[in-house]
Chains A and B, each alone.
Chain A
Amino acid sequence: MSSRARLYSTGIFALGIVAVGLGVSNPYEQQLLTIIGIHTLLALGLNMLMGYAGQISLGHAAFFGLGAYGTGIFTTHFQWSPWASLPVVLVTSCLVGYAIGRPILRLSGYYLAMGTLGLGIIAHVIFREWDTFTGGASGLVGIPPLVVGRLVLGLGRTGFFAVWATVVLFFVLCGRLVDSRIGRALRALGDSPGAAAASGIHTAHLKAVIFSFSAVMAALAGYLYAHLLGFISPSSFDFLMSIRMVTMVVIGGMASIWGSLLGASVITLLPEWLHVFSDYEMMAYGLILMVVMIFLPQGLTRGVLDAFQRARTLRGAASS
C-alpha cells in the first residue's frame, strides 16, 4: 500500500474508533470491544511472525501471560506503580523473546510447531504452579488499574480508548515495518529462507528479532488486560489461547494487517453470537472455521476482497 493510502485508511480507522467509542454506551458492548482490541494486538503481533516471516508459534499465550503476570506480580507483591512496571515488562519480554526465539527458530515446520507448543505448556505450568507469586490456579487478584491524571482506566469507555489508541499506534508501526527494507526481508524469509540467506539476510537473527517483536506486542496486550480487568488466572493463558491467536491470524488473513483486526473480531464475537446454539455452540464454532478455511483458504480479508473484485468485473462485463 502506498504511504498516502495507508495514511488515509489509518485516519478513517481512527475516526471510526472515536465514533464507536463515543457511540457505544452499553457496558457489555464496551467490554467486548475492548477485548477485541486486545485480541487485535495479539493477532497483529503474531501475524508479523506467521504471515510475513512464515514462522509458526503455537505458544504465544506464554508472552501474553508474561506481560499480564509480570505486571501483576510487580504491582501486587512489590507495590510498583503500573507505569513503572510497563517498561520493565516490555524490555523483559523483548529479551526473553529473543533469547527463546534464537534457538527455537532453528526449527522449522512441524518441529517448530512442537517446540513452541512446549514453550506455551511450560509457561502455563509456571503460571499455575508458582503459587507464591502467581496465586496458582485461583489467579492473581487486586491488580491496580492504570491511572492517567485523575482518570482511572477501567473496562468501560476509558479502557476502550486506551486499548484502541494502542492498536492504532501498532497499525501505523507495523504498516511502516511491512513496507520497509525489513518488511521485504521478512517476506523473503517466509518465501524462501535459502534465497534470503543468499541475499545476505542474517536469517537466524531476523527470525529471532521478529519473534521478539511479536512477544513484546503480546506482552503489551497482557499488560493492558491485567490492569483493565484487575484479575488474571492461568486459564486465560493456556494452550487454547495460543490456538485462538493462531486462528485469528489464519481466519483473518496471513500477512494482512487489516486481517488481524477482522480475525480478532470474528474469533472474539463468534462465541458470543453462538450462545443461541447453547449445547451445540462449540460445534457451530468449529463448523464455521472449517467452512471458512475450505472456501476462503486465504482468510476472510482476501476472500472478501476477491469477491468484491469479481463482482466489479462481472458488473463491468454486464454493462459493456
Chain B
Amino acid sequence: MLIVRNLRAGYGRIEALHGVSLSVRQGEIVAIVGANGAGKSTLLKTIAGLIVPWHGEVLFQDRPLAGRKPPEIVAAGIGLVPEGRWLFPPMSVLDNVRLGAYLRLRRGDKEAVREDLDRVFELFPILAERRKQPAGSLSGGEQQMLAIARALMSRPKLLLLDEPSTGLAPLLVEKIFETLVQLNGEGITFLVVEQNARAALAVATRGYVLETGRMVLQGRAQELLEDQEVKRAYLGKDYREFAEGRAR
C-alpha cells in the first residue's frame, strides 16, 4: 500500500533522514520506534507532504506522492495525526472535527460528511458532549481523541499517527490503542510512530527501529518485542538483565 524508498529530507541544510525505506501493506498496523530526535516526526511529515523530500520515493497505492502538496496527499487517502495534536484551540470541538473533512466538503459530500460526523462522535462520546467547547479547553486525552477524530473525517485509507501516547496516563494510552485496533478492524491501515515502544509494538503487526535518521532494524512486532537491543534501548529493561542475557 505504502512504499517509501531511500527517503532523504531535512531542515535547511541539516539532513534528518538519511535514506529511509519502509513499506506498509493494506490492513497492517506498522510501528516505528526510535528515541528523541531519531527523525520519526520528520518521516511522517515528509510522507504527509508537509516537508518536501530531497531525494527518494513515496508510493501510495502505486501512485508517486513524493513532493506532492498536502491537499493532494490527503485526497489520495493518507491522514496525519500530528505530534502535539496541532489542534485549533480557540475553535469549537465540532469545527475542529469538521475541518478534517475540508476537502470532502469542497467536493460537496455533505451527506456523507454528516454521517461520518455522527460516527466519529459515536466513537468518542466524550467529544460529542463537548462539541461546543473550544478545543483548547479539553484535557490531553480528549485532545488526542479530537486529533484522531479530525483525521478520520478525511476518510483516510492510511492513517499516520505521531506519538499518540505522549502525556497520557497508561489507562488512556490503552484506550487510544484499543480504538486504533478497532478502526484497523474496520479497514484503516496504520503507521504509528512511538517512543512508547511497548504499547505500539503490542498492537502492531510489524515494526521498524529508526535511529538518527536510519532504519536499523525491522521485523514482526513480536520479534522486536523480544529483541535484546530493542529491549535495552526502548523497552526500559534495566541494564543488568541485558548484560546477563549477553553473558549467557
Contacts and interface: CB of A to CB of B under 8 A. Distances in A.
Interface of A: 181, 184-185, 187-188, 191-192, 194-202
B91 A191 contact: yes
Contacts of A201: 70-71, 99, 102
Nearest to A183: B95
B82 A188 contact: no
A195 B102 CA distance: 12
A194 B86 CA distance: 8
Contacts of A191: 88-91
Contacts of B86: 192, 194-195, 198
Contact of B99 (A188, A194, A202): A188
Given A191-B90, A198-B80, A198-B86, A181 B102 contact: yes
A202 B88 contact: no
B87 interface: yes
Interface in B53-79: 69-71, 74-75
B105 interface: yes
Nearest to B69: A202
A200 B50 contact: no
Contacts of B89: 191
A199 to B, nearest CB: 5
Contacts of A197: 49-50, 70
Interface in B152-183: 154
A199 B102 contact: yes
A187 to B, nearest CB: 6
A185 B95 CA distance: 10
A239 to B, nearest CB: 31
Contacts of B88: 187-188, 191-192, 195-196
Contacts of A199: 74, 99-100, 102, 150, 154
17 contacts: A181-B105, A184-B95, A187-B88, A187-B90, A188-B88, A188-B99, A192-B86, A195-B88, A197-B50, A198-B74, A198-B82, A199-B102, A199-B154, A200-B75, A201-B102, A202-B69, A202-B70
Contacts of B103: 200
A198 B86 CA distance: 9
A197 B49 CA distance: 9
Nearest to A181: B105
Nearest to B74: A200
A181 B82 contact: no
Nearest to A201: B102
A185 B50 CA distance: 17
